[in-house]
Structure 1
């Protein structure tokens, strides 16, 4: 995360370390979730090129992929129902039909395809083909990675202080 000196923006005065932490709290919290998603994504992606002893078994890959889909869906549902509506009161980035929510829709379209395929593999309708998992992941990889970074940046101290007072920041959800 950025230091307090880089958090100042335009005509705003520099932040103390304590105020920076208050303004940056949501970004740090979000980064923790996003780091988990990146790690799991990378493990799945790597497993697409490996089979047998070096990589995940087919069963492990299916379970990890389904867990990833479920956790990311839950994460986005919580954001859309509980966090974004509060932030949207002052921050245009979190209003409907704006980039962050548009990215959610694109990500979910890809997640649905991946999840459907993995469920078919889990119940034996399909044999797991790692190249198919990779193809499905590549279908929404770019928007996912951009979103993970952009959302954290938007919640960072430099941006949040433009819209919220310190007292308001302390009361925001998350």
Structure 2
């Protein structure tokens, strides 16, 4: 798959800036990758983007409901609440796997993963938001609160910007042009994803 074929099903929140293109002279001097080499170096980015697109789609379903002021017609209140709770649990599991199994391997050579402060700080901010989201959705599911989409939007807005930036940052770090700076094709084939 060519770099330009990776698609994202929806746009990030409007306050989230687009990633800055990188034009370092080091990148300009690297030889062009063959299609096979590109696939080898880009497979982690594609794999990560696959998971991230699931999170983006679920986020967009919840946020679209908030913006429209009504749930999607195909989801009951119970299903809508379950969708949000699954989002919380799956994203928590995804970050746990990254922190325990992926980041340590990448950190052997890559500064962004070696000094994981920024990525872990993003994870922390996201999880603070996820905890609030889960608490709100559980209270609605348990009947302690009534689901109010305006309130749900406030919870989502509390961590949306950092979430979308993080989803983009990780994929960018794992892209072929960046990975080739640190890893051989053989090392890429042995990566944990």
Query: Partner of 2:3: helix, strand, or coil?
Result: coil
Q: CA contact under 8 A between 1:47 and 1:55: conserved in structure 2? A: no
* CA positional deviation for 1:162: 0.6
The verdict on how the C-alpha distance between 1:162 and 1:134 changes in structure 2, with shifts beyond 3 A counting, is: same
Does the alignment pair 1:45 with 2:63? yes
> Secondary structure in 2 aligned to 1:163?
coil
Q: 1:15 aligns with which of 33, 45, 52?
A: 33
Q: For structure 2, which runs of at least 5 residues remain unmatched after alignment?
A: 5-25
Structure with higher helix content: 1
Q: What is the aligned-residue RMSD (CA, Å)? A: 1.8
Q: Against the structure 1 CA distance between its residues 101 and 65, is the aligned structure 2 distance closer, same or farther, given a 3 Å change threshold?
A: same
Matched residue, 2:154: 135
Q: Which blocks of at least 5 consecutive residues in structure 1 are unaligned?
A: none
Q: Distance in 2 between matches of 1:156 and 1:53?
A: 34
State the Cα distance separating 1:102 from its structure 2 match. 1.4
Q: Give me the TM-score of the superposition, normalised by structure 2.
A: 0.82
Q: Relative to 1, partners in 2 of residues 1:53 and 1:136: Cα closer, same or farther, differing over 3 Å? A: closer
Matches within 5 A, 1:88-167: 88-167=107-186
Indicate whether 1:81 and 2:82 are aligned: no
CA contact (8 A) 1:30 1:152 kept: yes
Q: 1:32 to 1:97 in 2, by over 3 A?
A: closer
Name the counterpart of 1:33.
51
The total of aligned residue pairs comes to: 170
Question: Do the aligned partners of residues 53 and 86 (structure 1) sit closer, same or farther apart at CA in structure 2, a change above 3 Å counting?
Answer: closer
